Amino acid sequence: MREPFAQRAQEMGLTAIGAHKGLFTYEDQYSQLTYRQLYTGYLNISEEERHATDGFPTPLIAIYTRPTADVDWHYAGYVSDFYQFIGNDVLCQRVRASVLAVGMPIMTEGAIMSWDHTRMRNEIIIQSSETHPQAGDILPVMIVNNSYNGTRAATVAFGIALEYNNDRTIFAFSLGEMRQVHIQNSGTEMSSAVNSYMQVFSQDITDMITGSFNTTITEDEMLAVLDLIEGYGRKRRDAISVLLEEIQPAGAGLPSAWQVFLAIVRYSSFEPNLNMKRLLENAAESVLVIPRRMYEVLDQLG
């Protein structure tokens, strides 16, 4: 059985500035975080009114976050006493080191934080592009996801970045996504995964786009995808339909798999809700024509 949070806090990278008070902190370039043990308590009552259970620790740890030191702390929920913490930048640094270890320079990074700073998505774009006649330059991306409230496991996904109407659109495969249990293994294993993706990216990404561009979506497939998105909100379906009409004008027949993919991913790039962004990416991935070799490599990485 895993040891209680307080006994594991420092080995997980938290600073025990008030361990006797159940107070542990962490900060990096993305945000500041405090975990604090929750106790049964009482307010403004006399000694005689207190119960024998007052002041006992609970199996819950409260979360407080803030973006920077000049902002007040915000209560952001709680986690179990057995929660496994990993810092945002600790996770990102493992990915950076693995990318650099295989000789690939990092072009840029873009971190997206949830409103309460308990969730992070960091898109690490690698400077190694392939060019496709319909899609232009495509770059490989490592997408790092992490949460401080246990709502999402730490993961690293493989993806692509492409330009559309002078805006950069980024997509993460759910296929091949590495979870925390794999991420925490040796750096050599992570570098091997990055190297495998870079090889399949250079060999198969243009074939994936060509195959998707040459595959026409049937009317039933089109309705199935739109119905799925409508389950996430009618406004999202309508907005994606508008984007699709811009990409595939009315009267041009049914769109290709690539055009449907592009419309969904284009919309998801502006979606502020990280959970919804992931669901939309999954819908976009469902229409892609992924080459068999690429599928097999990604499947093995996950």
Cβ neighbour number for residue 3 with a 10 Å cutoff: 11
Contact 143, 123 (CB under 8 A): yes
**Domain match, 94 and 197 both:** yes
Structure tokens at 31: 């945000």
CB 73 within 8 A of CB 169: no
Q: How far apart are CA 58 and CA 80, in angstroms?
A: 9
Select from 158, 185, 203 the last residue of a domain. Answer: 203
Kindly report the pTM of this predicted structure.
0.90
The answer to whether position 225 is within a domain reads no
Which of the listed residues 80, 100, 119 is the one where a domain comes to its end? Answer: 80
Q: Are residues 95 and 37 in the same domain?
A: no
Could you tell me which residues come within 8 angstroms of residue 263 by beta carbon, excluding any fewer than 6 positions away? Answer: 240, 243, 244, 247, 255
Of the CA atoms within 13 Å of residue 285, those in its CB half-sphere come to 20
**Cβ-contact 37, 78 below 8 angstroms:** no
Do 31 and 120 fall into the same domain?
no
Q: Are residues 33 and 106 in the same domain?
A: no
DSSP string of 97-136, one letter each residue? HHHHHTT--EEEEEEEE-TTSSEEEEEEEES--EEETTTE
Specify if 269 maps to a domain.
no
Residue 225 CA to residue 132 CA, distance in Å, equals: 25
- Cα distance between residue 25 and residue 7, in whole Å: 14
What gap in Å lies between CA 67 and CA 185, rounded to an integer?
30
Residue numbers of the domain that contains 108: 88-129+138-203
Q: What is the pLDDT at residue 69?
A: 93
Flag whether 150 is in a domain.
yes
Domain count, the chain: 2
Taking the C-alpha atoms of residue 12 and residue 160, their distance in angstroms, rounded to an integer, is 31
Could you tell me if residue 145 is inside a domain? yes
- Looking at the structure, do residues 98 and 45 belong to the same domain, yes or no? no
Report yes or no on 212 lying in a domain.
Answer: no
Residue 39 lies in a domain: yes
Q: Does residue 109 belong to any structural domain of this protein?
A: yes
Q: Is the dihedral of CA 281, 282, 288, 290 positive or negative?
A: positive
Residue recorded with tokens 């009114």: 49
Looking at the fold, whether 66 and 105 belong to one and the same domain comes out as no
- 26 occurs within a structural domain: yes
Q: Do 72 and 120 share a domain, yes or no?
A: no
Q: Do 167 and 186 fall within a single domain?
A: yes
pLDDT at 253: 83
User: In this structure, what DSSP letter does residue 255 have?
Assistant: P
pLDDT at 183: 66
pLDDT of residue 1: 64
Residues 108 and 66 in one domain: no
Comparing C-alpha atoms, which of 155, 95, 94 is closest to residue 125?
Answer: 95
- Cα separation, 252 vs 244, whole angstroms: 12
Residues 158 and 123 in one domain: yes
Mean pLDDT by 10 residues, the chain (302 residues): 85 84 92 93 78 85 96 96 93 94 94 96 95 92 96 92 84 90 69 93 96 94 91 93 85 88 94 94 96 94 82
- Quote the CA–CA distance of 291 and 274 in Å, as a whole number: 28
Pair of tokens at residue 49: 């009114």
Same domain, 69 and 112: no
Last residue of a domain, one of 203, 219, 250: 203
Are residues 159 and 191 both part of a single domain? yes
